[in-house]
Amino acid sequence: TLIKMMSPQGHKTHLEDLMSFIDPEKPEVTIAILKIFSQQSAPSIKGIDITPYIKNPHPVVRGFATACLFPENPEQYGPLIDKWIGSEDIKDRQSGIVSAGLSGKREYIDTLLKILAMHDIDPIIPDIIRALSRLRARELNAVIYSYLSHDYKNVKMAALDALEINDDFSLKKAILLIADKSGTIHEFAKQKIRESEYCNNSILVESLSLPGTRIRRGLFELLETLDIKELDIFMFAKKNMDKCYAYLAMSQNLEKRPKGKMRDLAIEHMIQQKELALENIIRVLAIRDKTGRMKTAWRGIFSPDSRQKANAIELLSDIMDRRLLNIMLPLIESPTPAMALIEGEKVARIPRFDPEGKQVIAKLLSSEDWVDVVMGLSLTRDDPSLIEGNGLLKKLENSININILKEVQMVLMKDNKGSKNPQRIKSTKISLGEKILLLKDIEIFSDLSPSELAAIAAVTKELNYPEGRTVIKQNDVGETVFLVINGEVEVIKELMDGTEMVLDSIQKGDSFGEMALIENEPRSATVRTTKDSRFLILHQQEFKETAMEYPRIALKICMVLSSRIRHLHTRIQNR
């Protein structure tokens, strides 16, 4: 890190001194120093003996060493690069790719592109992308776009580094990486956007509508450092208020449909989507407000305290554009969605939907938010007529979102219309919508929003256990929570004398092992099946990653556990 922080002038002055830091046992340090050497002119490093490092066992060290020597003696080292880059040995090929990228010879571009098209080259993809970038390959963005969503972090990082943000499309690609679970990629994506010469702040503002807490948080951090035009903010606010009314209108349309848990869940989701859009509006308006009053209003508007909310509305009336305020007031003052729509008709255009709900389903299935789509698909499983003839299901079969693909398969399998595409993912036995409903019945998840529940449901798995099988063992360290879908288990305390005491039985709809999500303590009891049983399971690691994306999940669980402790404390005091 210290070597990377040196100035270019410092590089030139201390080139020979840097040689003393090269250590064959520390390839990262050696690579950093050789990288500095490769950036200097040939006369600058003349007299420094780099030749021994051509035989270094680390392929990247070899590549940088050869790149340092190539400008002074291309006749000798050019054939070596050619030999390596054409080798079947992946390490030799990696050395060749690194040195080719630093050679300045654009003739290598076609060779590098051919290698990139090969199979089973994941370990060297980052080197190829970096080499193409160093050689200034034309239309490189088109080549690397697919690698921005690669499974490997190193590949994504190399692609992001090589990405040239030069139009709206490339800007949107960089914006999506703000949602990446890797903190390094998250921060680098923001840095790339911030430092890019190309800028379209309206795209950044519009992207606040993308699903996911992490991406919105990153965008707000970015927007606070940029000069956003007032017109962009006004248009965003107006567009999202229209979205708020649309979600309310859809929720009221679904109220007319037959009652059911999934219908109620979808209605709850739409109300909360309206709240989220409203929160985004106020947060964006706060960016232009240098007094801090808008942030104060933002906190008050969503407060459960009616007095704080009233004060916040009064504050908004003093600082907001009157046109926007008039449209917003029904959304924040009306006691029910129905009343908000009645009052909203006076100041906004409220969308109308057919009584059967087909247009609502079509709008959900066309949404950019994957949870909207899942809600729409879950509703159609109970009533396939809602999507007959609109062709949306066919389009969703080509979705790049794995959760949507699974739900589409569930709908098709129920209708005995399994996808004809052999590449499509096999259907699971329980839909994501059903998983959300099951999770909602677990106490620690009961207060979460449908979007938060969907994020958790997406990382759960199903397991089957025969009768008499031990599911968890007393004193084993646990890291999984179990929800009983079907069957029954008994909770057993293993006593010191070797006997067992049955403490409880857990049946369909109940759960056990919740504490494993937040601590790595030994299990306090054994759990064994008394019937053939089926479970929905959630591992601690997947839960932690989801909680990073939706921090409110961890907060809500802490509130539930705190309530449990208070309840136990009260019981002890009353004894």
Q: Are 305 and 329 in a shared domain? A: yes
| CATH code: domain of residue 54 | 1.25.10
Query: Given 427, 449, 464, which residue is the final one in a domain?
Result: 427
Residues 322 and 390 reside in one and the same domain: no
Output the pLDDT for position 100.
Answer: 94
Kindly state whether residues 200 and 277 are assigned to the same domain: no
- Name the residue among 521, 535, 539, 527 with its Cα closest to residue 476: 521
Span 203-231, average pLDDT: 86
| Residue 281 belongs to some domain of the structure | yes
pLDDT digits (tens, 9 = 90+) for 265-275: 999 999 999 99
Inter-residue contact 97 to 62 (CB < 8 Å) = no
| Domain match, 449 and 372 both | no
Q: What is the pLDDT of residue 422?
A: 41
446 and 423, same domain (yes or no): no
555: domain CATH number is: 2.60.120.10
477-534 pLDDT, tens digit per residue, is: 888 989 898 899 999 988 888 888 888 888 888 888 877 877 788 888 899 999 999 9
pLDDT at 11: 45
- 374 and 258 within one domain: no
Res. 7 pLDDT band, cuts 50 70 90: very low
Same domain as 396, residue 310: no
Q: What pLDDT score was predicted for residue 8?
A: 46
Given pLDDT bands bounded at 50, 70 and 90, which one contains residue 23?
A: low
Asked if 71 contacts 45 with a C-beta cutoff of 8 angstroms, the reply is: no
Q: What is the mean pLDDT of residues 344-359?
A: 93
How far apart are the C-alpha atoms of 359 and 338, rounded to whole Å? 19
Do both 156 and 251 map to the same domain? no
The three-class DSSP label of residue 72 is coil
Which residues are within 8 A (CB) of 227 and not within 5 positions of it... i.e. 6 or more apart?
A: 201
Specify if 224 maps to a domain.
no
Residue 183 region by backbone torsions, left for phi larger than 0, else alpha for psi between -120 and 50, else beta: alpha
pLDDT over 90 (residue 398): no
- 350 pLDDT above the threshold of 90: yes
- Let me know whether 116 and 41 are in one domain: yes
- Count up the domains in the chain and report the number: 4
Same domain, 23 and 148: yes
At residue 2 the predicted structure's pLDDT band, cuts being 50, 70 and 90, is very low
What is the average pLDDT across 112-137? 94
- The region of weakest confidence among 44-48, 140-144, 243-247, 497-501 is 44-48
- pLDDT at residue 22 in the model: 64
Strand 480-486 versus strand 511-512 pairing type: antiparallel
Q: Could you tell me the two tokens for 88?
A: 């079947």
In a domain, 212, yes or no: no
- Mean of pLDDT over the chain: 86
Q: Tell me the per-residue pLDDT of 282-294, one tens digit each, with 9 for 90 and over.
A: 988 888 787 888 8
Geometric angle at alpha carbon 195, from 190 and 196, rounded to 5°: 100
Tell me the average pLDDT across 165-190: 94
- Residue 512: strand, helix, or coil: strand
Q: What tens digit of pLDDT does each residue of 429-482 get?
A: 788 999 999 888 887 788 889 999 999 999 999 999 999 999 999 988 888 989
Of the residues 392, 427, 462, the one at which a domain ends: 427
Is 161 within a domain?
A: yes
- Is the full-model pTM beyond 0.85? no
Q: Give the whole-number percent of the chain exceeding pLDDT 70.
A: 89
Q: Is residue 351 part of a domain?
A: no
Burial class of residue 574 in the structure, from the number of CB atoms within 10 Å of its CB (0-12 exposed, 13-18 middle, 19+ buried): exposed
- pLDDT for 550 equals 80
Do residues 470 and 531 both lie within one domain? yes
Is the pLDDT at 46 greater than 60? The verdict is no
Residue 221 has pLDDT above 70, yes or no: yes
pLDDT at 228 over 90: no
SS3 461: strand
Among the listed ranges 117-126, 283-292, 534-543, which one has the minimum average pLDDT value? 283-292
Rounded CA separation 125/550 (Å):
32
- Shared domain check, 421 and 482: no
Q: Which domain holds residue 407?
A: 367-427
Please check whether residue 359 lies inside any domain of the structure.
no
Predicted pLDDT of residue 6: 47
Q: What span, in angstroms and rounded, lies between the C-alpha atoms of 64 and 412?
A: 54
The 3-state secondary structure of 347-372 reads: CCCCCCCCCCCHHHHHHHHCCCCHHH
For 164-186, what is the mean pLDDT? 94
Does 556 have pLDDT greater than 90?
no
Tell me if 352 is assigned to some domain: no
Per-residue pLDDT of 98-117, as tens digits, reads: 999 999 999 999 999 999 99
Residue 434 forms part of a structural domain = no
Q: Which of 312, 344, 376 is the last residue of a domain?
A: 344
